[in-house]
Amino acid sequence: GTGKLDGKVALVTGGDSGIGRAVCAAFAKEGADVAIAYLDEDDDAEHTCELVRAEGRKAASFRTDLAVAQNCRDIVARTVDELGGLDILVNNVAYQQTVDDFAELTEEQWRRTFAVNIDSFYFTSHAALEHLTGGGCIINTSSINGLRGNKSLIDYSATKGAVNALTYALAQALNERGIRVNAVAPGPVWTPLIPATMDAEKVESFGQQVPMGRAAQPDEIAPSYVFFASGTMSSYYSGEVLAPIGGETLPG
């Protein structure tokens, strides 16, 4: 690293694995202290914290369900408490479960997906507002599915479309507070969500449809977050959705 984030404090939701973990490691390499929120994968969370500490940075982890509003508020307060402030908020937590037939998509799953994937982004950002004012930033994890939909991930796609719109609107709303708001919308990425939520056949061919012919590794996505987190690199960027999608051109 080259100290792009020296002295900064970041909070990454869903920081225990996948893209979240890669972002934490990349932030720490650039000099940031990092807090993560995670649901229940204690070993994964500890591994992420070890990666952060290996870079000589402080790490904090909070085991909590961000589908609950108060928990979102608590992780912001605890980050400020334990790490002394908050400069970078990464709303990255996500729930997804493939359903091949829309008739089979339950109300329970619909509400859970929205509670985790978009409601938590609102509650966490709202709680972080006072701490981020005057030079902080928010980075939201979206998805290519939010830009063009996915017939097996209808609820998930809908939340990611909402994440994009939230990013655009918040960027406009928070300029006067000096807070930049951007999103990263990856294509297929190898994360624990993939084998956990897809059948073997789909896992086998995962990512082969993109021009590069493969899914990304989380480490290939993390630099997008470093770019948005660094005031020196992206000071003129807000309301941007950056899409690392393996050679495709975005719709529209």
Q: Is 237 a catalytic residue?
A: no
Element (H, E) at 236: none
**Distance, CA of 25 to chain centre:** 14
Please give the structure tokens belonging to residue 14: 């869903």
> Which residues are CB-neighbours of 123 under 8 A, at least 6 positions away?
66, 69, 72, 73
Crossing angle for the helix pair 18-29 and 218-229, to the nearest 10 degrees: 50
Distances (CA, A) of 220 to 203, 207, 239: 19, 14, 22
Select which of 38, 95, 156, 225 is catalytic.
156
Q: Phi/psi of residue 190, each to 5°? A: -70, 105
Please state, in angstroms and rounded to a whole number, the distance separating the CA atoms of residues 53 and 34: 9
Half-sphere exposure of 246 (CA within 13 A, CB side): 20
Instruction: Report which secondary-structure segment, H or E, holds 220.
Output: helix 218-229
Residue linked to tokens 């359903």: 99
Question: Which residue's entry shows tokens 């624990």?
Answer: 192
> Which amino acid is present at 196?
A
Please list the active-site residues.
156
